[in-house]
Amino acid sequence: MATSKTGKTLGRPTQYTDILVDEICGRLACGEPMAKITQSAHMPDPVTIYRWLREKPAFNQRYADARKDGAHCLADQIQDIVDTEPLAVFDEAGNKRYDAGSIAHNRLRMEVSFGVFDEVLKNMALTRAASE
């Protein structure tokens, strides 16, 4: 991190450490998006992380492995959405009806999750092709 003329620390951390890499990769492996990870105050900004990916082959490999693990996590999240019953409401006669808004919300969550999952799979295929 940079320091001001008064000696105060400025900006986010930019020093590459095993502890930071462990946390980044661990959070990615659990399906957390990079955009959310880099919002944490103790994390470097995305530009720094992407620079590390270009400059540090070991980090690049750990990152790729974490992304693969994250894809499995994302698949589990999609399955949870599918398995979640929409909000049920009962009309005056006691008949069970599903709330249309709840159904639409779950559909949107699935569509977005499938889009993200598709991108992750494409990136994994590109990474694998580049390494061969």
16 closest CA partner among 24, 6, 28: 24
Closest CA to 124 of 65, 46, 50, 56: 65
pLDDT of residue 76: 86
pLDDT value for 79: 86
Which pLDDT score, from 0 to 100, does residue 56 have? Answer: 94
pLDDT at residue 21 in the model = 96
- State the pLDDT at residue 54: 93
- Model pLDDT, residue 8: 52
Q: Give residue 63's pLDDT.
A: 92
| Strand residues in the chain grouped as ranges (E) | 2-3, 9-10, 88-90, 96-98
Q: What are the residue ranges in the chain where pLDDT is below 70? A: 1-13, 126-132
